Structure formats: structure tokens, C-alpha cells
Amino acid sequence: MKRIAAHCLGAFALSSMIAVPASAQQPAREVYRCPGNPVLYTDTLSAKEARDKGCRTLEGAPITVVQAIKPRAVAASAAVNREERSEQRVDPKEQRARDSDARRILEAELRREEERLAQMQKEFNNGEPERQGDERNYQKYMDRVADMKASIARKEGDIAAIKRELAKLPP
């Protein structure tokens, strides 16, 4: 019985040493509140320096440290941005010419893509394209059919994207 009690006592002592929080293992640093700045707390002063400055020790009060964000020079950057924007403005005639060029390029690309889609759909033959000489294996044929179907779907997506871009341009 004594052996069991000694064993339990030893286990209890071991578990209590493990359960000690890390903050209790290290000596607590003194946090001071100094006069003249009611919201400034510091732990970088020695006891003598704190006494000389008239600081009080804070005990048991939770302290939260918040990292300050450096303010940017907003007014100066706003003025620079305004100047850059005024210099970057494009003449309305030049902008219309750019829009016209963009529309012409997109329309030409749309025609090419639609022609390529029609060719792909013709080759696809509603899911039953002609077999090629190297497709004796049916799985190889089915893989090619699946690739063709995926290519057609991608091409249709490309065409839809070009049409959306055209819709964004002024007429």
C-alpha cells in the first residue's frame, strides 16, 4: 500500500512540475507607468531609472501591445497621382481610334475562332469522327473523341470571351 501511495505521490509531483506555465518559470518583468504620458507603459526601464522618473509599478494589470502602422504621406502622393492622371489623359479622337482598332482586331479574331470552331465540329461529326489508321484500339479512339470534345468546349469559351470583350467597347 505504501508503495502505491509513494508511486502516486511521485506521479503527482511530476505532473505538477510539468503543468507549471512558462510565465511562472521565468522571472516577471516589471511594467511601469510613467507620469506625463498616461497611456505609455514600459518594461525597458530598470528599477532605479523608473524611480528617478517617478514611474509607478503596475501589478496584475493585463498589458496589450499593439504594433503601430507607419502613416504614409497621403497628401503628397495624391497630388502626384492627380498630376500623373492629367498628363496621362488621352485625346478623345485618339481614344476613339484606339477603340476602333481594338474592335477591328477583336472582330477579326472572332471570325478566325468561329471558322476554326466550325472546322472542329465538322471533324467531330456529332461525336463519331472517322477512325484514323493508328486507332485499332477502341480506347485510343475514345480518348481522341474526348479530346476533341474538350477542345470544342474550350473554343466555345474563347469565342464567348471575345464577344464579352467586344461588348465592352463603345460602338
Q: How many domains does the chain have?
A: 2
Distance separating alpha carbons of residues 150 and 152, to the nearest angstrom: 5
Q: Is residue 108 included in any domain, yes or no?
A: yes
Whether 20 is in a domain gets the answer no
Residue (of 95, 98, 109, 97) closest to 164 by Cα position:
109
Q: Does the model's pTM come out above 0.85?
A: no
Whether residues 102 and 34 share a domain: the answer is: no
Per DSSP, the residues of 54-115 read T-EEE-S------PPPPPP-HHHHHHHHHHHHHHH---HHHHHHHHHHHHHHHHHHHHHHHH
Name the helix (H) or strand (E) containing 118. Answer: helix 92-124
Note down pLDDT in tens along the chain; length 171 residues.
445 544 444 444 444 444 444 444 445 667 777 777 666 667 777 888 878 888 877 776 666 666 778 776 655 566 666 666 667 788 889 999 999 999 999 999 999 999 999 999 999 999 889 988 888 888 999 999 999 999 999 999 999 999 999 999 988
Query: Do 97 and 164 reside in the same domain of the chain?
Result: yes
> Is 75 part of a structural domain of the chain?
no
Q: What phi, psi does 45 have (nearest 5°)?
A: -85, 150
**40 in a domain, yes or no?**
yes
Residue 146 lies in a domain: yes
With respect to residue 9, please indicate whether it lies within any of the assigned structural domains: no
Residues 105 and 152 in one domain: yes
Q: Could you tell me if residue 112 is inside a domain?
A: yes
Domain that holds residue 48: 27-65
